[in-house]
Every structure is written in structure tokens, then in C-alpha cells.
A and B are shown apart, each in its own frame.
Chain A
Amino acid sequence: MTTIVLPYMLDFYPLQDEDNTRIHQFYASLREGKLMTTKCKDCGGLFWPPRVACPGCNSDQFEWVELPGEGELYAFTAMLLGAPMGMEKDVPFVLGMVQLDGTEFKVLSRIGNTKYEDCSLGMRVKLETYDLEDGRVWFRFVPITSD
């Protein structure tokens, strides 16, 4: 069970355990380095982020499928001024939309291990997961280096 230190009004991160969300499997998988989402067993619809009811066919029968952990930068920028509370210390940071290989999804993410000046459209990136201070897990993408 996640312990939230009060006040937590400005907690940005989702509550991740099974006491709080029905998609806790997503976070458990993320901890293993996998980006998963739900696929509808009835209509085959693949949605991001994970669902508990299918917006396509109204089914509630899903299976977990792994999304590609790699993709390319569809767009990117950097946060230089005006970051939200708790993220000021990260400034400047790069944000990008990652077109996951073979999917329609352009997942918005921090792009770590790089600077804005070193990024380019189409740059190859891969998933990286990390632990938050309170024990929760989160993800970002980082450039795929040639070595």
C-alpha cells in the first residue's frame, strides 16, 4: 500500500496498487520493464491507456498485451520555464511524443539522458522505467545509442 505524505493535493502520479485501481497489472508490468496495455477480447480493439470497459464494443473482457518498448520521436520540445510544482528541479527537461513501433500510439513522455539540442525528429528511443521516491513506478524514454 502506497503511503501518501499529506498534503498530497498536488500528487501527479496515479495510485497504482490493487486497492486503488483495476489496472494495477499495468504498473506491476512496468516494474518489470514492460509497457503493457489492454486488448479487447471481443472486438480486438487496442487502446491506450489501459481500459476496464471497451469504448468500441462495450465489452469488459480484456487481455494484457505488451506494447513495443521502442519508437521514434514524432515531436519534442523542452520545458524551460513554468514547470509544475515538484518538477522545478528537473528543469530544463525534454518532452516528446514517441510513436511506438507498429502502433498508432504517440505516447507523451519525458525524454531522458539527452538535451533538447541533441534531439531530432525521428530519433530512436526506448522505454526506461524507474522507481519514484514513495515506492511507485514510472516510465520515460531515452535515446537508443549506437554502442
Chain B
Amino acid sequence: MKNVAIVACGLAPFGVRKATWRELVQEASKAVFDDVQNLDKKDIDSLFVGAAMPERFAFQSHVAPLVAEQVGIVPHKVVTRTELACSSGQSAVRTAWASIVTGLSDIALCLGVEKMNMPNMLETQTSMACVLEREWDGVQGASAPPFFAMCAQRHMHEYGTTVEQMAMVSEKNHHFSTTNPYAQFQKEIPAEKVLGSPMIAPPLRLFDCSGITDGAAAVILTSEERAKEFTDTPAYIIGSGQCSMASNLANYKSLSTWHPLKIAAKEAYRSAKIGPMDLDFAELHDCFTISEIIEYEDAGFCEKGEGGKFIEEGQSNIGGKMPVNTRGGLLGTGHPLGATGIGQIVEIMQQFRSTVPKERLVDGAEMAMSHNLSGAANVHSILVFGRSPR
């Protein structure tokens, strides 16, 4: 299979932004084009826009042509939007990757964006309820926090995981985001502060939850053959896995084991011809603290049930067995749905280039993965990246 590389990356600052949806698009576009050398915009033949809910957050559909015009390109091979809720950004990259592998596309821009802060935040909260199955689950008042709260309850019940361990995930990721000027939250949040924050959906408290965030991120992809024209330091896609299992919560096998993650991870490692511990670091989807703990386990970084111990022992910190979420994760950086997956890939590329601040640098990293879950953790998407092609 043809090797595909990320050759440029760029971010709009994440946060509660005094900027519109289309202004975020322009910021990320400027950043990614500032990052690339020798690229004529005319040569970008494909555009993939990751956006989860522009219809609800910005009352705008048909967003791909809007983005094309804002960034100044005329894509003529593939132009589309990818929607997979919280994984919409990674979906854009996955789809671009597939298109380049087949030879259909030559150079693709992937831009992920979400504008979630609205004058009436009740509208945002309401929209988030349709990420679950709205007619049967959302209708009962369920949304992300109650779902992940129940995952936490089951994990605590079955494996003895504690709220203190969950708080340590938040402390770690908020610590990393103090090194990230693009992050929504740039202050230390010690575990005690997490444990003293307002209860949202027990056992989850405010700082167990990622924020409601505006942001955008972009990457440019091309084939291995062309990559060196645009950068000396491409990041190659060397593996992939994705799995969807169940939609209605009634049909879940488990809340404490995420079976679709296990399947996606197995396929990602198989296709990359590696084992989980061959990775040098990972970007995991920590929408809630419990998510990261379950992901340590089901992505294969530790034994089932030992995710709490993994964070407690510092294994997911720099210097541990598997540094996780060095840019600050969703907890520290914020979670603009369509931008998140691409923001993670930006971190991987900047880690490979050693351009991140020293405090969060994984020195000499050769391989990393980005993982997103979407909805009520029923879809898991993984891309594996290497500094060298497969």
C-alpha cells in the first residue's frame, strides 16, 4: 500500500473564542500554509472538512465549499465534509489518507473546526444530546457526562478504580496544557482541586470533564513520493484501525471494557506491524478522566483493570511507560469536536520535529498514535504515525 505523509500542520488557538466559525477556519488555514514550503495552493486537489455540528452551532450546512473559498483553493478531485461527532477531525484525515492511497488524490487539505460557544449555552448543551441516539437515549436527558459517569461507576465497581486516580488524569493533562499556548486551559489543576470541583454527573466533577471549546486545526497530506518537496520532517501514516459497535445504549456489552477500542487497536497494531508498547507516546481521547483510564487498558498499555494504577504510578507521564496527551489532552486543551482529532495529529508532528516545549518533549520519539472515540464510546478510531515510512 502506498505510504502517505502529513507534511504540514497548523492550529487556531482553542478556547472560548471571540471569533466566528469561518474566522477559526481562516486562522487554521493561515497556520498550516505558514508551515509549508514550496506548496502552490493550486496543487491541492482535495479537501476534507471535519465538522461535527455546524448546522446546530453555526446554522451552516454544505461547509466544504465554504472552507474551500475561505482558504483559497479549488479542490477538483475530492471535496467533502466528514462527520463522526467527536472523531470528525480524524475522519477527515482517514478519508484523505484513503483517497491518496488509491491515487485519486495527490495533495489533500484536512481542516477540522468547531464553534461550540454560543450566546445561549443551553442551545449547545441541547445539541450535544443528539450525539447519542436521540429518540431513545437523548430523549431521557442523557448526554456525554451521564454516559461516561456510568462508565466510571462500572469501572470503579468492577476494578476498584478511585476518584482520586481519575483526578490524577486531570492533573496530568492540565499540567501539560500549561506548556501549550493553544490550549483552552493553561493553569495547573491539582488533583485536590478536581476533587473539590462541582459535581456534574456523579462520580464525575467539573474537572473530570473536557471543556466546551471553539477551535480549528489543519494538516496537509500527500504521498511519500512528494512529501520531501514540502518538508524535511514528514509524519507517515503507518497503521490504522476503526470499529463501530452498537448505538442504542441498551445494546452495549459493557461500559467498563470498550470492545470496539480493543478491535480498532488490534487492527491498528497489526497494520503497523507493531505492538502497543512499540509506540513512544499516544494521543488518547480523554473527553473525561475515566476515558483515558479505560483507554490505557483497552489500547493495550496495561492489563485490564489496572488503568487506575497506570496513572497513579506515573506511567502515562513523560518518563513513564507510555506518555499520554502531552499537548494537554482534551481535558487541558479543550474539545472542539471537529478540530480535536487534527489537533492531536499536530502534536504528533510537532513532537517528531522536536518543536514542542522541552517540558513536554518525548525525546527521540519515532512512533505514536492518535485515538478518538465518538458518541457514547461506541466508535473508536486510531491512526498510527511514524517518522519513517512503513
**Interface residue? B138 (CB, 8 A):** yes
**Interface residue? A138 (CB, 8 A):** yes
CB-based contact A79/B141 at 8 Å = yes
CB-based contact B126/A84 at 8 Å = yes
**Interface residue? A121 (CB, 8 A):** yes
Question: A72-87: contact bitstring with B at CB < 8 Å (1 yes, 0 no)?
Answer: 0011111111111111
**Interface residue? A4 (CB, 8 A):** no
CB-based contact A85/B249 at 8 Å = no
User: Which of B123, B200, B203, B251 is in CB contact (< 8 Å) with A82?
Assistant: B200
For the complex, give the distance between the alpha carbons of A95 and B204 in Å. Answer: 14
One of B35-43, B145-153, B214-222, B227-235 at the interface: B145-153
CB-based contact A108/B140 at 8 Å = yes
**Interface residue? B389 (CB, 8 A):** no
Size range of the chain A interface in the assembly: 35 or more
Beyond A95-B146, A108-B136, whether A83 also contacts B141 by CB under 8 A is: yes
**Interface residue? A62 (CB, 8 A):** no
Residue on A with the closest CB to B252? A106
For the complex, give the distance between the alpha carbons of A45 and B248 in Å. Answer: 16
CB-CB under 8 A from B126, the residues of chain A are 10, 84-86
User: Which of A12, A75, A88, A105 is in CB contact (< 8 Å) with B154?
Assistant: A75
CB-CB under 8 A from A14, the residues of chain B are 135, 139
CB-CB under 8 A from A44, the residues of chain B are none
Residue from A13, A76, A81, A108 whose CB has the most chain B CB atoms within 10 Å: A108
**Interface residue? A36 (CB, 8 A):** no
**Interface residue? B199 (CB, 8 A):** yes
User: Which of A48, A77, A106 is in CB contact (< 8 Å) with B146?
Assistant: A77
CB-CB under 8 A from B122, the residues of chain A are 84-85, 88
Shortest C-beta distance, B335 to chain A (Å), equals 14
Shortest C-beta distance, B195 to chain A (Å), equals 16
Residue on B with the closest CB to A121? B157
Question: B221-261: contact bitstring with A at CB < 8 Å (1 yes, 0 no)?
Answer: 00000000000000000000000000011111001000000
**Interface residue? A30 (CB, 8 A):** no
Size range of the chain B interface in the assembly: 35 or more
Residue on B with the closest CB to A111? B140
CB-based contact A95/B142 at 8 Å = yes
CB-based contact B143/A105 at 8 Å = no
CB-CB under 8 A from A49, the residues of chain B are 135-136, 248, 250
CB-CB under 8 A from B252, the residues of chain A are 97, 106
CB-CB under 8 A from B146, the residues of chain A are 77-79, 95
User: Which of B128, B138, B145, B251 is in CB contact (< 8 Å) with A48?
Assistant: B251
Shortest C-beta distance, A7 to chain B (Å), equals 12
Beyond A80-B200, A108-B136, A110-B141, whether A12 also contacts B129 by CB under 8 A is: yes
Residue from A74, A77, A81, A105 whose CB has the most chain B CB atoms within 10 Å: A77
**Interface residue? A90 (CB, 8 A):** yes
User: Which of B123, B129, B157, B249 is in CB contact (< 8 Å) with A108?
Assistant: B249
Shortest C-beta distance, A45 to chain B (Å), equals 12
Beyond A95-B146, A97-B249, A105-B250, whether A12 also contacts B153 by CB under 8 A is: no
CB-CB under 8 A from A81, the residues of chain B are 198-201
Shortest C-beta distance, A136 to chain B (Å), equals 11
For the complex, give the distance between the alpha carbons of A85 and B200 in Å. Answer: 16
Residue on A with the closest CB to B140? A110
Q: What is A's interface to B at a CB cutoff of 8 Å?
A: 10, 12-14, 48-49, 74-88, 90, 93, 95-97, 104-110, 116, 121, 138, 140
Q: List 30 A-B contacts (CB under 8 A).
A: A10-B126, A12-B138, A14-B135, A48-B248, A48-B250, A48-B251, A49-B136, A75-B153, A76-B150, A76-B153, A77-B149, A77-B150, A77-B203, A78-B146, A81-B199, A81-B200, A82-B125, A83-B125, A84-B125, A84-B126, A85-B126, A95-B142, A95-B150, A97-B150, A97-B249, A97-B250, A105-B250, A107-B250, A108-B137, A109-B140
Pick the 3 closest A-B CB pairs, nearest first: A75-B150, A77-B149, A84-B126
Q: What is B's interface to A at a CB cutoff of 8 Å?
A: 122-123, 125-126, 128-129, 134-143, 145-146, 149-151, 153-154, 157, 198-204, 248-252, 255
Given contacts A82-B125, A82-B145, A84-B126, 4 further A-B contacts (CB under 8 A): A77-B204, A81-B198, A110-B140, A140-B140
